[in-house]
Every structure is written in C-alpha cells, then in structure tokens.
C-alpha cells in the first residue's frame, strides 16, 4: 500500500506520513547493541532515504517504529531468590499483583504509555500461573513440541526444525490480559480474580511462523474443529492449556503465529522462552507460553484452565455459588476469545497536579484504546459533563506505518507481512486538547471508544465472578484545589491505595447507583444507616520500639516465641499456656510472618487481644524480607519419614473423594511417599491451606484427620461441606475443597492443639500430664473426628483401662458420621464403652433416643459429678449451640471447667 493510498483510506494522518508522531514517542534507534545480526534493518531492508535523496549518504531509517532499548542492568530481584523463579531477571519498576510468586505484574500506567507504541520486555505485563520453566540457552534449539490429535500426519519437531523449514514473519501485536481494569470490579464487589489496574496490556514485535502453515502440513481430519495448546508450566491442576477454533488458526487474516522472538530477541523466560503461541485480537490467556503440544480436536479443550479461567459468567453468579456449577463453567457461550472494545486515560496521571497560575491555555488529555478480533477503533469520544455531550478525540494508528514496508522487507529475520492484511492487531492512541477553563468547570473527564462494528464501551460495569473484560467508560475525577487541579483515576493496581472508587466506597457511596457513587447537584442526599466497618486495633500505640530481622529471628524457639502480624512484632510467651490451640500453635509461628494464618482464622476478639503482646515494629527492610520468606517445603529435598512440620507448609496431592453422606465426604491425600507417616499425635489437629488459583488468596481451617496415627502414605480427612443457603453463606474452605479436582495439591502444617492422648489413661493438656479414668465424649456432626481419634486409641489398646461414654447428637440418621466404625468398636469393648445416639429430627423408623443432648441424657448416662481427683475428663466438639449447651449443663451439675476440654 503506497502512502497516498493509505492517506486517502484514512489509515494514516499526514503527521504520521511525515514521520511526526505526537503521541507516545517511538523514535527509531539506530545505535542499538545486539548479538543478533538480524535485529537491525539492513541496507536491503526498505527504509526512508536521506533528506537529499542520496540513499548512500546516510543510514536508512524505517518508516515504522522500532522498539525502545531494553534495560541492560536487570538482575534477579531479591524477592525472587527464594522462589522457583530464581533464574529470571526482571525490572523492579513492575507492580506485583499477587505477592512475590507467581509473577503477575503490570507497569505503572504512565511508564507504559511513555515507552510508546512498542513495549520493551522490561515493562511488558506478565501473567504467570506458576513457576517459569527453566530453559538454558544451549537447550533452545532442541526444544521439542508436537502436533497431534485429529491429524493425518502427526508432527514432532524441534525449534531448530521449525526455524529451518518454515517462513518467518514479523509484525506488531498487542496482548491484553482479560483481567485488565479488574481492580474496578473488585472494589464494587470482590471477584475471584486479583486486581489488575489499567496497564494489563503491552505491544511488541513478534517474530515466528504462521500456525496455519504447520496445521496444513499436519493435515487435520474431517470433523476437527478446535486446536488445543498446552505449555510446559506444571500447575496444581495440570499443565496450562486452552484452545481456539481450528478455522481461526487456519485463517491467515487472523495472524496466529508460533513466536520465537520478541522485539528481535529470543523470548524472555517470562514470555515463553523458547516458543509460544501469539494470537492477535484475543485475550492474552489464549497465547500459551512454553509451548509443548498442539492437539487438533473435535471439542474445545478439557484443560482445567480453559474451563475455569477466562470466562464471563452471568452477573448473578457470585463467588460463593460458582463452585457448585460445573456445567455452567463448561458452557462455551461464556468463554472469552476476542477482546472487547476498551480505552483508558493515561494523562492526566493519577494524582497529577495542573498549576492554574501558568500560561498554559489547554491541556492535552491522552490515552490508549483497543478492540478485539482484528477490528479497528474508529472513534474515541470524551465527555466533561457525564455523557450529556461528547467531543471527538484525534486518533493515531502507529500500526499502520508497518503497512508501508516494501514487499519482501525483512525485520528481525521475519518478513513484515502487513500490506495486504486488513485486520488491526494493536492498540491505538487518542488525544484531545481541552481548554483549561473547561477543565476548571468540569467535575470529571470520561472517555469511551467505538470499533468498526459500532460496538461502543458501555456506560456501566458488567460485574462477573472472574472480573474479566471490564470496559465501562474510564472516568478521571477533577479536584479543585488552591490554584491547581488534581486528577484522580478510578483505582490503583494490586493493593495500592488510591482512586475515586475506593474513596467513594469508604465514604458509604453506592458505586452502582448510576452516578458513579457520587451525589449530583440537585440530587437528594442519600441517608445511610450502615456504620462503616471498624478495624480492630492490634497494636499498643505507646510502643515505639523498632526491631531488626536479626533480633526477631533470635526468638524463633520455644522459650520466648516472637511472631509478626502485618509488620508488627508480638511476644507470645505470656499466652503459651492459655492459647486454645496449645503452645505449639505459637511456637510453630515463632520467628515467622504469621499474618496470613492469624488473620484468616482468628476472630475480632482474638485480634484485639494482640495489643497486650505487642512489643515493637519490624523495620521496613526486615518487613520486606520476612514477607517474601514463604515457608513451604522446597522441591528436591530428600524424603522425610514424617509428613507434618509445625513450622513449614508441606504439600499433599488430593487423590480421591468419597461421599459418606449427602453433605459429607472423605478427602484422601497422597503423601510424599508410601512409607511416610502423618506425624499427628492422638487428639491433635492440623491446619489445611488452600489457595484460590486465580487470586492466590489463602483459605485456612483446622481439621482432625480420621486416618490412624500409624497410617502411612495416605491422609484421610472427613469434611462436612457447608453449602450456601438462602439464609446464610456456606463454608468457604469446605466449598473450595469440594470444587478442586483430583490432582490438586493442598498445604498442611501441624500438629496443633493443647490436648494429646499418650495412652492408657495418660494425657497431656497445655503441656501438663494428667491421669484420666473416664472420658465423657460429647459431639455432633463432623465434630466426631477428634472424638473418634481418641476413642479409637483407647479401644484399640486392650491394655488400656480407660472408659468412654459417647453422646453423639445429630438431626437425622444421615448425619451420623463414622457410624459403622463407632458401632464396630462395641465388639469386645462393652465393659468400657457406652455409645448413645440422639436425633432431633428422626425419621419414623428410628427406634433410638429422640431429642437433644440435654440435662436428662447427661444425668442418666454420665451421672453426677462424683470425681474430685480429676479422673473424669469431658471432651466436646460440635456446633457452637451444642458446645454452649453442654457447658451450661455440666457446670450446672457442679463440674469444674478444668475438667472440660472443647476441641
């Protein structure tokens, strides 16, 4: 396409044709260092001639942008040293969205925009689900991948084969994460996704081979409709994989490629080294990195990540109920492929100040826009009065400059195959000069874009459970301050505070009221009776002591256990005896950042008690180092004889689920090896941790397994699943466990608890030994598990003289858990074991006791408090109403609280 034709078609502006670009500058850099001779356009590669027309007197500059120079001094960052990514160099400017690991980042929005049309590898956003596969430079050419499935000619080839046998292409492609701008949705209502800002997109020059050429060589069979991709990144739910339609992959207009270079360089590790799929116009989640398999199929991918990620479910489906809708997740109507139309304002930046005392008469408002499926953005409009009137902005399309490349022109070893293609694969830039006086009179600046299919950004948000494809009008609030204007963006990425949405919500505003949560002039004042949530104070304001990491780590033992919560240091020595979970619950956290565990499982009352144990604050450097000190059993260490560790999380793989009642299942986990012992003393419990695969948010709960203490290689945990009901929310952990597939790992830590049964009547309570002649065991529902562990230990030892009375209260027969085991233990144990079932809602066939565990039952089966020497010990575990009732009954009968233990 020649310049005159391009200009008349409206693809290029005169400013672009003259080489001038007002928007993000991408000046050609002809003084680049490179080890790859194909990185620079040669004299035979078309470019602009010298101003005097002498093609030999000056180096040729291309008409199209070249990438800015990458930073030469990036290193492996401190926070990555203790993660599996300790081989990857990264730019410290990137904003981490999911903590230290895995690596999910975006650049500061202004930095991304300033870098221009093309993004360096330094600031390109990254979406990793797990560890980055390590591929040495010497292994790149030997990297193997396959094309298999419904093909007549299966192919297995190396990267060297691919590069040798197929034609290479180079062209710019914008990749966008489907979660771009998700933070806005998370503020309205928490989704299952982590908080992307507005910089979850980047553009690079990609070099590779058209996937259609490979697929044609493999010869898809009749009936094949999809192409599945699978990477080398092993994750909790298998290898990452997804699929697209076969017809899309074969369509040259769509530009799907297998890329091996990014901006002329070998793919960086974070971006798929050495081979990845790049799919223009579709969400980044379809562009699989570290590619190993291409599978041609009749149906869409069955990969876990294809089904449970990158979907926009109907807005009425919330996080709580989504786990119970497997068929909804599998519905391809909700799968995301093409990007939707979106735009954002980059300048004015968040908290940017415009001084009104200067001579400036107008401000150049500017930002980006993009569309999906190869469609072109055709207009960008700005409003200063909340949509009553609109102003057209100017649009720049730097992508079109590549269409002017000469036929056969080579860049970075690939042909610039752009002149014939009508599709748009890249973001564009918009700008508008707004008079200062108009900005002074406005409350906000809002922008919306439209594509060539006349699809325009919506005014209001479409909230969905994964928070994807968020694209309502982008609103920047204008604050009038003394002699200046201050601009405020909607949000800031990750956990960074700031943004008008967060401010409005904290003030009690309704972000879904149709007016962006703010009260308009003339609108009646909204009266709210809800009090803002109060945060529990966990520090002693009088304490000003600063504690170093060295001093903190010196207290990682049992004598003076110090632990940290939110950067504050607490001395747990004074609570070793009184802690409900026993002293090991505190000593297990000694010398560690216990924030995640403490905040996840403790009540507001417990948080308030921390004030009494607060002794100081870690210095900032120590806080950063401690927060990155993830205590997880590293891979590659020799197998241990005992599975549980009380100071370190250890992973086990979910291998089976077995229903034992309508709402209860036994979850079986495989340990490290068949001879490994669990390591849980009788009467104690362990903590299970499950992370949401999208948000990485931790869910922790304590459980007592039903596996015997001597069991090896396997761990069985009986769990009652509390599902959501119209009147109350269900259990977060139980529903999450029920939704994860077999093969998923769960983290375990332990043992915990202040009670341990040592055998033959000897037990230890809060570190002190005591003798017991009789256990009175009261339980209900899944509270049977700790009771069952102690009961089994007593009855399996024929030399143990301890007697046991069990009062097991439930609603109906289906709720009686471990019933077969409890009944079987009656054999040969009638002399020391009495078992009583009581049902509050029995069926007509029930012949046993009816009602509840009440005073009459306890008086009849237990008798009065006759023991004064501590020979009886009451063990209680069940729902809170049961525990409260039992406590009242026993104390009313004269029992001392010291003789009662609540699990």
CATH number, domain of 664, equals 2.40.30.10
User: Domain for residue 586, yes or no?
Assistant: yes
Would strands 276-278 and 803-810 be described as parallel, antiparallel, or unpaired? unpaired
CA distance 346 to 387: 20
Put residue 725 in one of left, alpha, beta given phi > 0 → left and psi -120 to 50 → alpha. Answer: beta
Helix (H, G, I), strand (E, B) or coil at 512: coil
Same domain, 472 and 614: no
Look at residues 334, 360, 377 and tell me which one is the last residue of a structural domain.
334
User: Domain for residue 592, yes or no?
Assistant: yes
The most distant pair of C-alpha atoms in the chain lies apart, rounded to whole Å, by 112
- Evaluate the CA torsion angle 577, 581, 587, 592 in order and state its sign: negative
Same domain, 163 and 253: yes
User: Domain for residue 9, yes or no?
Assistant: no
CA distance 481 to 509: 22
Catalytic residue status for 309: yes
Catalytic residue status for 165: no
Q: Which of 309, 571, 663, 815 is catalytic?
A: 309
CA distance 115 to 96: 19
Going by the DSSP 8-state scheme, the letter that residue 290 receives in this structure is S
Same domain, 550 and 677: no
Buried (b) or exposed (e) across 856-889, using 16+ Cβ within 10 A?
ebbeebbeeeeeeeebbbbbbbbeeebbebbbeb
Same domain, 182 and 329: yes
pLDDT for res 7: 35
Would strands 900-902 and 362-370 be described as parallel, antiparallel, or unpaired? unpaired
Catalytic residue status for 263: no
Same domain, 246 and 354: no
Helix (H, G, I), strand (E, B) or coil at 598: helix
Residue with tokens 């005896």: 577
pLDDT for res 723: 81
Domain that holds residue 400: 342-506
Alpha-carbon separation of residue 767 from 380, 484, 613, 660, 755 (angstroms): 70, 65, 21, 36, 8
* DSSP letters spanning 225-265: -EEEEEEEEEETTEEEEEEEEHHHHH-GGG--EEEEEETTE
- Residue 177 labelled as part of a binding site: yes
Tokens of 632: 């997880």
Q: How many domains does the chain have?
A: 5
Scanning 509-580, the segments in alpha helix (DSSP H) are 549-553
Please identify every stretch of the chain with a pLDDT value under 70, giving residue numbers as ranges: 1-61, 519-535, 558, 577-585, 588, 596-597, 599-605, 627-637, 692-697, 866-870
User: Domain for residue 620, yes or no?
Assistant: yes
Backbone angles phi, psi at 247, to 5 degrees: -65, -35
User: Domain for residue 41, yes or no?
Assistant: no
Same domain, 282 and 241: yes
Give 502's contacts (C-beta < 8 A, 6+ positions apart): 187, 491
Same domain, 383 and 431: yes
Kindly report, residue by residue over 291-302, the tens digit of the pLDDT.
Answer: 999 999 999 999
Q: Is the peptide bond before 738 cis (omega within 30 degrees of 0)?
A: no
Q: Are 802 and 772 in contact (CB under 8 A)?
A: yes
Q: Are 792 and 825 in contact (CB under 8 A)?
A: yes
Same domain, 310 and 448: no
Buried (b) or exposed (e) across 552-576, using 16+ Cβ within 10 A?
beebbeeeebbbbbbbbbbbbbebb
Look at residues 717, 752, 787 and tell me which one is the last residue of a structural domain.
752
pLDDT for res 387: 96
The domain that holds 865 is classified in CATH as 3.40.50.80
Beta bridge partners of 770: 763
Question: What count of other Cβ atoms lies within 10 Å of the Cβ of residue 349?
Answer: 15
Put residue 667 in one of left, alpha, beta given phi > 0 → left and psi -120 to 50 → alpha. Answer: beta
Alpha-carbon separation of residue 512 from 412, 462, 490, 508, 836 (angstroms): 49, 10, 14, 12, 54
Same domain, 229 and 326: yes
Beta bridge partners of 677: 642, 712
Q: Are 653 and 745 in contact (CB under 8 A)?
A: yes
User: Domain for residue 489, yes or no?
Assistant: yes
Question: What count of other Cβ atoms lies within 10 Å of the Cβ of residue 138?
Answer: 7
Same domain, 250 and 309: yes
CA distance 431 to 393: 6
Helix (H, G, I), strand (E, B) or coil at 38: helix
Tokens of 368: 């980006």
Look at residues 334, 361, 396 and tell me which one is the last residue of a structural domain.
334
Helix (H, G, I), strand (E, B) or coil at 572: coil
The domain that holds 575 is classified in CATH as 3.10.120.10
Strands across the sheet containing 362-370: 342-347, 362-370, 428-435, 394-396
Kindly report, residue by residue over 259-300, the tens digit of the pLDDT.
Answer: 999 999 999 999 999 999 999 999 999 999 999 999 999 999
CA distance 196 to 179: 6
User: Domain for residue 99, yes or no?
Assistant: no
Q: Which of 128, 177, 470, 877 is catalytic?
A: 177
The domain that holds 347 is classified in CATH as 2.60.40.650
CA distance 791 to 822: 9
User: Domain for residue 821, yes or no?
Assistant: yes
Q: Are 273 and 258 in contact (CB under 8 A)?
A: no
Q: Which of 111, 310, 808, 829 is catalytic?
A: 310
Q: Are 212 and 252 in contact (CB under 8 A)?
A: yes
Q: Are 476 and 489 in contact (CB under 8 A)?
A: yes
Q: Are 233 and 290 in contact (CB under 8 A)?
A: yes
Output the 3-class SS for 768-796.
EEEECCEEEEEEEHHHHHHHHHHHHHHHC
Distance between alpha carbon 481 and the CA centroid of its chain, in Å? 38
State which H helix or E strand residue 873 sits in: strand 872-877
Same domain, 350 and 482: yes
Same domain, 742 and 761: no
CA distance 876 to 866: 19
- Give 739: exposed, middle or buried? Use CB within 10 Å, 0-12, 13-18, 19+: middle
């Amino acid at each position: 396409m020649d310049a005159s034709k391009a200009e008349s078609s409206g693809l290029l502006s005169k400013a672009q044709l003259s080489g001038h670009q007002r928007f993000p500058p991408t000046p050609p850099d002809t003084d680049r260092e490179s080890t790859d001779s194909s990185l620079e356009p040669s004299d035979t590669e078309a470019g602009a001639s010298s101003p005097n027309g002498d093609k030999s007197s000056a180096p040729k500059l291309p008409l199209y942008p070249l990438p800015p120079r990458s930073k030469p001094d990036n290193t492996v960052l401190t926070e990555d040293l203790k993660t599996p990514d300790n081989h990857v160099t990264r730019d410290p400017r990137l904003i981490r969205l999911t903590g230290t690991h895995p690596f999910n980042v975006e650049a500061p929005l202004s930095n991304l925009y300033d870098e221009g049309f093309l993004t360096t590898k330094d600031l390109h956003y990254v979406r990793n689900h797990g560890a980055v596969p390590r591929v040495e430079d010497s292994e790149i050419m030997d990297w193997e991948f396959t094309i298999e499935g419904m093909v007549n000619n299966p192919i297995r080839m190396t990267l060297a084969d691919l590069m040798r046998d197929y034609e290479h292409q180079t062209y710019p492609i914008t990749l966008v994460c489907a979660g771009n701008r998700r933070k806005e949705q998370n503020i309205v209502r928490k989704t299952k996704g982590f908080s992307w800002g507005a910089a979850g997109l980047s553009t690079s020059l990609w070099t590779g081979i058209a996937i259609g050429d490979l697929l044609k060589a493999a010869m898809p069979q009749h009936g094949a409709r999809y192409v599945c991709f699978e990477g080398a990144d092993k994750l909790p739910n298998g290898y990452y994989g997804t699929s697209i339609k076969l017809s899309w992959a074969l369509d040259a207009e769509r530009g799907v490629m297998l890329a091996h270079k990014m901006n002329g360089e070998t793919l960086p590790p974070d971006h798929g080294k050495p081979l990845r799929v790049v799919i223009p116009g579709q969400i980044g989640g379809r562009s699989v990195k570290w590619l190993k398999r291409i599978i041609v199929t009749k149906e869409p991918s069955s990969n876990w990540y294809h089904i449970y990620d990158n979907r926009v479910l109907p807005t009425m489906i919330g996080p709580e109920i989504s786990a119970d809708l497997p068929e909804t997740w599998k519905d391809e109507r909700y799968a995301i492929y093409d990007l939707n139309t979106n735009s954002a304002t980059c300048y004015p930046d968040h908290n940017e100040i415009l001084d009104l005392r200067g001579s400036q008469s107008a401000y150049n408002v500017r930002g980006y826009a993009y569309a999906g499926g190869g469609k072109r953005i055709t207009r960008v409009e700005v409003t200063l009065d909340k949509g009553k009137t609109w102003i057209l902005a100017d649009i720049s399309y730097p992508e079109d400059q590549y269409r002017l490349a000469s036929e056969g022109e080579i860049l970075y070893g690939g042909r610039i195959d752009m002149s014939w293609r009508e599709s748009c694969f890249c973001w564009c830039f918009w700008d508008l000069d707004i008079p200062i006086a108009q900005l002074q009179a406005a409350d906000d600046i809002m922008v919306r874009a439209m594509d060539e299919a006349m699809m325009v950004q919506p005014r209001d948000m479409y909230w969905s459970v994964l928070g994807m494809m968020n694209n309502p009008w982008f609103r920047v609030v204008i604050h009038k301050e003394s002699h200046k204007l201050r601009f405020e963006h909607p949000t800031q990425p990750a956990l960074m505070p700031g943004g008008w949405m967060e401010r409005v919500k904290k003030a009690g505003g309704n972000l879904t009221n149709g007016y962006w949560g703010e009260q308009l002039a003339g609108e009646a004042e909204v009266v709210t009776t809800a009090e803002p949530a109060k945060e529990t104070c966990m520090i002693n304001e009088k304490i000003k002591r600063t504690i170093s990491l060295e001093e903190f780590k010196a207290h990682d033992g049992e004598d003076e256990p110090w632990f940290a919560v939110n950067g504050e240091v607490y001395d747990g020595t004074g609570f070793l005896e009184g802690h409900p979970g026993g002293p090991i619950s505190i000593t297990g956290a000694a010398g560690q950042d216990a924030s995640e565990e403490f905040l996840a499982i403790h009540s507001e009352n417990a948080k308030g008690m921390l004030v009494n144990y607060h002794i100081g604050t870690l210095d900032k450097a120590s806080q950063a180092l401690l927060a990155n000190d993830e205590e997880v059993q590293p891979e590659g260490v020799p197998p241990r004889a005992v599975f549980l560790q009380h100071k370190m999380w250890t992973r086990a793989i979910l291998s089976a689920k077995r229903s034992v009642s309508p709402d209860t299942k036994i979850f079986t986990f495989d340990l490290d090896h068949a001879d490994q012992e669990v390591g849980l003393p009788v009467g104690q419990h362990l903590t299970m941790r499950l992370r949401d695969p999208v948000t990485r948010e931790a869910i922790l709960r304590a459980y007592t397994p039903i596996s015997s203490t001597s069991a090896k290689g396997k761990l069985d945990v009986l769990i009652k699943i509390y599902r959501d009901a119209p009147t109350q929310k269900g259990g977060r952990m139980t529903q999450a466990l029920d939704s994860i597939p077999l093969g998923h790992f769960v983290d375990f830590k332990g043992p915990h608890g202040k009670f341990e049964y040592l055998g033959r009547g000897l037990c230890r309570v809060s570190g002190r030994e005591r003798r017991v002649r009789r256990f009175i065991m009261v339980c209900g529902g899944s509270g049977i598990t700790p009771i069952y562990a102690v009961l089994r230990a007593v009855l399996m030892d024929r030399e143990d003289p301890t007697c046991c009375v069990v009062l097991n209260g439930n609603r109906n027969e289906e709720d009686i858990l471990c019933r077969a085991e409890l009944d079987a233990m009656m054999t040969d144990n009638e002399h020391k074991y009495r078992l009583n079932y009581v049902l509050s809602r029995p069926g007509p066939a029930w012949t046993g006791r009816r009602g509840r565990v009440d005073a009459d039952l306890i008086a009849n089966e237990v008798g009065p408090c006759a023991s004064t020497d501590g020979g009886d010990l009451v063990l209680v575990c069940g729902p809170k109403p049961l525990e409260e009732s039992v406590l009242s009954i026993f104390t009313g009968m004269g029992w001392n609280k010291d003789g009662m233990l609540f699990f």
